[in-house]
């Protein structure tokens, strides 16, 4: 099942509970939360207290994307705050295997994120111990950027890798996805499709999620 995953980065933070309720009515089952530290990326966003507050206002799966240095110092805190899945950047982890183990031990799904320029080939050996892979389709840090087209080739390659290894792990994509390029993204092989500005800057986020779910479902007939 392909999931449309709204990123609250583009939501109105003063009305977060209502914004989340709205996309939930549209059919969203996963909410994406972007954590930035001003070091791994230049932007700053939220920490565990916000995840904890969001946890109190929804039962949906909370997918936390850590764009921070030394994520091993914080992963357990984010799981305790209510994250169902936590992803860390390959580029930020000196001991990736150990950090993934920490996330799993804390009780959440463990994901690896790759920046656009990092090849999926670095995942060859670790793929068996990750629960999902997030491929960045923009340089991380800000919403509202354009999808980098070569990332769709990476999605296709990763799709072949997981098939060859008989793994069912979801492929997540993040950045520059909106209604107009959704079919192409789904056909490349993505399962969790993050969209921030495409949903929250649309005139009717609830209807946009509903419509994107329908488009995604009908595009799954023709998958790579």
Binding site for ligand DX5 (CB under 6 A): 7, 9-10, 32, 34, 65, 138, 140-145, 174-177, 194-198
Q: Which does 28 bind (CB under 5 to 8 A by kind): Zn ion, ligand DX5, none?
A: none
Closer residue to Zn ion (CB): 137 or 164: 137
Closer residue to ligand DX5 (CB): 9 or 155: 9
Closer residue to ligand DX5 (CB): 66 or 81: 66
**Among residues 174, 186, 192, 199, which is the contact residue for Zn ion, using CB under 5 A?**
174
Q: Does 63 bind Zn ion (CB under 5 A)?
A: no
Q: Which does 133 bind (CB under 5 to 8 A by kind): Zn ion, ligand DX5, none?
A: none
Q: Does 3 bind Zn ion (CB under 5 A)?
A: no
Q: Considering the complex, what minimum distance in angstroms separates the CB of residue 175 from ligand DX5?
A: 4
Q: Which position among 63, 131, 174, 191 bears the catalytic label?
A: 174
Q: Which ranges of the chain does DSSP label H, i.e. alpha helix?
A: 16-25, 48-57, 75-80, 96-106, 151-164, 182-188, 197-200, 205-219
Q: Considering the complex, what minimum distance in angstroms separates the CB of residue 95 from ligand DX5?
A: 23
Q: Considering the complex, what minimum distance in angstroms separates the CB of residue 172 from Zn ion?
A: 9
Bridge-partner residues for 192, per DSSP? 3, 172
**Under 8 Å between Cβ of 134 and 114:** yes
The pair phi, psi for residue 141, each rounded to 5°, is: 140, -35
Closer residue to ligand DX5 (CB): 9 or 158: 9
- Is 191 known to be catalytic? no
Residue-wise burial string across 164-203, b where 16 or more C-beta atoms lie within 10 A, e elsewhere: eeeeebbbbbbbbbbeebbeebbbbbbbbbbbbbbbbebe
Closer residue to ligand DX5 (CB): 9 or 79: 9
Residues contacting 170, CB < 8 A, separation 6+: 132, 133, 191, 192
- Is 34 known to be catalytic? yes
Q: Does 172 bind Zn ion (CB under 5 A)?
A: no
**Among residues 63, 65, 131, 199, which is the contact residue for Zn ion, using CB under 5 A?**
65
What strands lie across the sheet with 61-67, from one edge to the other? 3-6, 192-195, 171-174, 132-136, 109-114, 85-89, 61-67, 30-36
Q: At what angle do helices 48-57 and 16-25 cross, to 10 degrees?
A: 50
Q: Which position among 34, 37, 131, 191 bears the catalytic label?
A: 34
The pair phi, psi for residue 71, each rounded to 5°, is: -60, -25
Residues at the site binding Zn ion, with contacts judged by CB under 5 A = 34, 65, 174
Catalytic residue numbers, as ranges: 34, 174
């Amino acid at each position: 099942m392909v999931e449309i995953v709204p990123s609250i980065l583009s939501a109105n933070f003063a009305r977060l509970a209502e914004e989340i309720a709205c996309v939930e009515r549209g059919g969203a089952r996963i909410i994406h939360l972007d954590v930035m530290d001003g070091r791994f990326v230049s932007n700053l966003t939220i920490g565990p207290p916000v995840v904890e507050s969001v946890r109190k206002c929804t039962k949906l799966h909370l997918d936390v994307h850590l764009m921070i240095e030394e994520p091993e110092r914080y992963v357990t805190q984010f799981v305790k705050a209510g994250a169902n899945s936590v992803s860390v950047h390959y580029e930020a982890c000196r001991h990736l295997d150990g950090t993934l183990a920490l996330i799993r031990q804390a009780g959440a799904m463990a994901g690896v994120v790759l920046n656009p320029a990092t090849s999926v080939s670095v995942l060859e050996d670790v793929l068996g111990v990750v629960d999902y892979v997030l491929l960045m389709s923009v340089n991380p840090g800000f919403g509202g950027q354009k999808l980098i087209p070569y990332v769709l080739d990476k999605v296709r390659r990763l799709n072949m890798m997981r098939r060859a290894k008989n793994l069912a792990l979801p492929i997540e994509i993040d950045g520059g996805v909106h209604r107009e390029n959704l079919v192409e993204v789904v056909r490349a092989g993505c399962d969790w499709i993050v969209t921030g500005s495409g949903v929250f800057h649309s005139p009717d986020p609830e209807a946009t999620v509903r419509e994107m779910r329908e488009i995604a479902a009908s595009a799954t007939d023709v998958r790579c």
